[in-house]
Amino acid sequence: MRARFVLIILILLGLAACSPSPEPAPAPPAAPKVVGYFTGWGVYARDFQVKDLDTSGAAGRLTHLLYAFGKVSGGKCTAADRWADYEKPIAAARSVDGVADAAGATPRGNIGQLRKLKQKHPGLKVLWSFGGWTGSAGFTEAARDPAAFARSCRALVEDPRWSGVFDGIDVDWEYPNACGLSCDRSGPDALPRLLGSLRSEFGPGAVVTAAVPGDPTKLAATDYRSAADSADWLSAMTYDYFGAGGDAPARTAPHSPLTAYPGIPRPDATTSATVDKLAELGIPSAKVLLGVGFYGRGWTGVSAAEPGGAASGPAAGRYEKGLEEYEVLVKRCPPTGTVAGTAYAHCGDQWWSYDTPGTIAAKMAYARSKALGGAFAWELSGDTATGDLLTSMATGLTR
């Protein structure tokens, strides 16, 4: 009897050994990233303060906030505006916590307020973004010694005066090995080497990101596939495909179409074409963020309501010709139609194109269908006081 029992146990053990191990449960997909840029200069004429991110509800919807822009000078990261960044004393009425900056407090300014914002919203991560349209020329020198550049960036971003405020760094180089406001000829490996040095210097726990052009021809000028290896994500600037500044003769066209439409001046100047190009380059979809402009681009001297009408030039804007913020346009020149997944408005002799909560919702559905890593906004001061655009972005990514 005892021998039979032992035999049964051995058989069962053998069967267990031969049985295949259960497959491990797949890792849940990462939560979509809801990202927005906050501009340091916005605290001046626009009077858009860090506190507004709290009162509008934006801070509670964002996963990441990018503070724009730091400067690249002499091959190093530097502060672009010390006064706004960390010296300007903030009065109680404009402070996140309602407490004025004490005399001699460090840091003050925007960075001091970002510290208070993170204390109130501990899940929010903040990155310091460097470069931008007018600040990218310095990257050419930085690319000659990426390791020295990375050391300077870490020293600034992790400066003891604001230790713990920033969770990483964003590179907005417009454009590596191509032309933006100035032209760069650093080679297709310049951006990957720069990001690789930043990753090595900041370490695996930091967030390292980069903005990439929406123009497919510029995407071909740099090895963005290798750049993605060192980055947490690449922010595709899927806006400003058309505008009143450079087209001749002037013809109206939506600046951020999702897809092509009959009569579009350039069929590849669309969000979907950019996303397809990034996929063709081999960049994982989860590392691509779709860009949304919280502003419109407009023309004047227009009689046609539909896109493609003749214009005499850019419409007047409060801070720049041919550009105006959504919160202004939706009241002054509300949408009269949609085309290619974005809105347009014909009012008087002006014609504007911009995204609305409805078109953003559709773009977020598209981002989900492509399994993108999320979306980002340029930039948050253009939204309404109640954060209508960002709300649509955040909810649209999680449906």
CA-to-CA distance for 193 and 178, rounded, in angstroms? Answer: 16
Average pLDDT of the residues in 193-207: 98
CA-to-CA distance for 295 and 86, rounded, in angstroms? Answer: 27
Q: What is the pLDDT of residue 376?
A: 98
Residue 141 annotated as catalytic: no
For the entire predicted model, the pTM comes to 0.92
User: At residue 78, does pLDDT exceed 60?
Assistant: yes
Q: Which CATH number fits domain 31-293+355-398: 3.20.20.80, 3.30.450.20, 1.10.3720.10, 3.40.50.450?
A: 3.20.20.80
User: At residue 6, does pLDDT exceed 50?
Assistant: no
Beta-bridged to residue 207, according to DSSP, are 168
How confident is the model over 223-266, as pLDDT tens digits?
Answer: 999 999 999 999 999 999 999 765 556 899 999 999 999 999 99
Average pLDDT of the residues in 59-77: 98
Name the band, by pLDDT with cuts 50, 70 and 90, for residue 28. Answer: low
Q: What is the pLDDT of residue 10?
A: 38
How confident is the model over 43-55, as pLDDT tens digits?
Answer: 999 999 999 999 9
E-assigned strand segments in the chain: 33-39, 64-73, 76-78, 125-131, 168-172, 207-212, 233-236, 288-293, 295-300, 313-314, 323-325, 337-339, 342-347, 350-354, 374-378
Portion of the chain with pLDDT greater than 70, in percent: 91
Give the H or E element holding residue 109. Answer: helix 109-120
Q: Give yes or no for a contact between 209 and 157, defined as CB atoms under 8 angstroms apart.
A: no
Spans of all domains in the chain: 31-293+355-398
Average pLDDT of the residues in 292-308: 97
CA 180 to centroid of chain Cα atoms: 18
Catalytic residue among 87, 174, 280, 379: 174
Name the band, by pLDDT with cuts 50, 70 and 90, for residue 399. Answer: confident
Average pLDDT of the residues in 275-279: 98
Give the H or E element holding residue 392. Answer: helix 388-398
Name the band, by pLDDT with cuts 50, 70 and 90, for residue 22. Answer: low
Average pLDDT of the residues in 205-220: 96
CA-to-CA distance for 393 and 202, rounded, in angstroms? Answer: 30
User: At residue 40, does pLDDT exceed 70?
Assistant: yes
How confident is the model over 317-362, as pLDDT tens digits?
Answer: 999 999 999 999 999 999 999 999 999 999 999 999 999 999 999 9
Q: Give yes or no for a contact between 57 and 380, defined as CB atoms under 8 angstroms apart.
A: no
Average pLDDT of the residues in 62-80: 98
